[in-house]
Amino acid sequence: MAGPKSSSKSSPASSETSVAVSTLWKSYLNQTPDRLKFIDAFLAFIVLSGVLQFVYCVLVTNFPFNAFLAGFASSVGQFVLTASLRAQVNPENRSEFKEVSPERAFADFALGSIVLHFFVFNFLG
């Protein structure tokens, strides 16, 4: 019995998806300010850090479980604070954050990060 024929052409749906992703990526690179790209890179790092912590906990060990919880909570909390910073410094959101300057948003981010990591450090024991 002959197996199914594989065509060298990709399906129209995957072609449309790749075109859409390519267009989205080019638009992001051309229209997003460098400040937001830097924040996005930090957000990607935080996500990667949280995923690696979770994978390590599942595959290797979760022996000091409070350490895992503290590290993972730190990743989640820092992601939330950074996403909030990104929303406040985005020029397209100026109408929603009229009274918050970018400097004030960064100061709030820094203070929130200090408080978050103080609690995380105390949770470690």
Residue 3 has pLDDT above 80, yes or no: no
Of the pLDDT bands very low, low, confident and very high (cuts 50, 70, 90), residue 12 is confident
Tokens (6 digits) for 76: 């989640």
Of the pLDDT bands very low, low, confident and very high (cuts 50, 70, 90), residue 115 is very high
Classify residue 41 by burial, with Cβ atoms within 10 Å: 0-12, 13-18, 19+. Answer: exposed
Q: Which residues contact 71 (CB under 8 A, 6 or more apart)?
A: 53, 120
DSSP percent split of the chain into helix, strand, coil, nearest 5: 80, 0, 20
Q: Which residues contact 125 (CB under 8 A, 6 or more apart)?
A: 66
pLDDT digits (tens, 9 = 90+) for 56-110: 998 988 788 888 899 999 999 999 999 999 999 999 988 999 899 999 999 999 9
